[in-house]
A and B are shown apart, each in its own frame.
Chain A
């Protein structure tokens, strides 16, 4: 079963614009992570936010977490064509370090 649901399913923007993706989940978590996947390749870990954190930054990435609403958002600022990829949220909710992934958001950044 998939814990997270990303929204929107697909997003198309122009280079330089900001991209915002949302993730909702169902049960309490230890942390929430975002991954990027280029077409046909493995996933790359982008950023992790713990359940007791509300916001985190890494370069052009900003992640927020609202545990009361069981939701998170990923903001990519000043997007580039190279940001074109699928983005997945994943939740770590137990003691076994197992991650449960959502279905992803396909981001297309047009040059």
Chain B
């Protein structure tokens, strides 16, 4: 296991198109998180899953955003009808319940540019 994997690394899309990102967490981690980071800012929480259940969604996650983790393994984040304001780095992280002392393991992120 080489850590948290995110694909693609970069995505350029035209405004109005739909995009989907994938995250493969560390296999034994049951918690998975999505964050969004814009230039010069810290990561902002979007949503998280424990196994396949989506337990919390940020108000940042408008109706155009949807996330799934169908079998409690990999997760996808879809943005419909993209807008220029969606341009950001989308970060995925995973952790293990009960391992509060070890922090998150982040992927390298997907950088989205909406033109």
Contacts and interface: CB of A to CB of B under 8 A. Distances in A.
Interface of A: 2, 4, 30-31, 33, 35, 40-45, 48, 50, 88, 90, 92, 96-104
A42 B109 contact: yes
Interface string B90-104: 010101010011111
B42 A88 contact: yes
A41 B109 contact: yes
Interface residues of B, number: 30
6 contacts: A31-B100, A31-B101, A40-B109, A48-B102, A97-B100, A98-B33
Given A31-B100, A104-B42, 15 more contacts: A35-B106, A40-B109, A45-B105, A90-B42, A96-B56, A97-B31, A98-B48, A98-B56, A99-B45, A99-B104, A100-B45, A103-B40, A103-B41, A103-B42, A104-B41
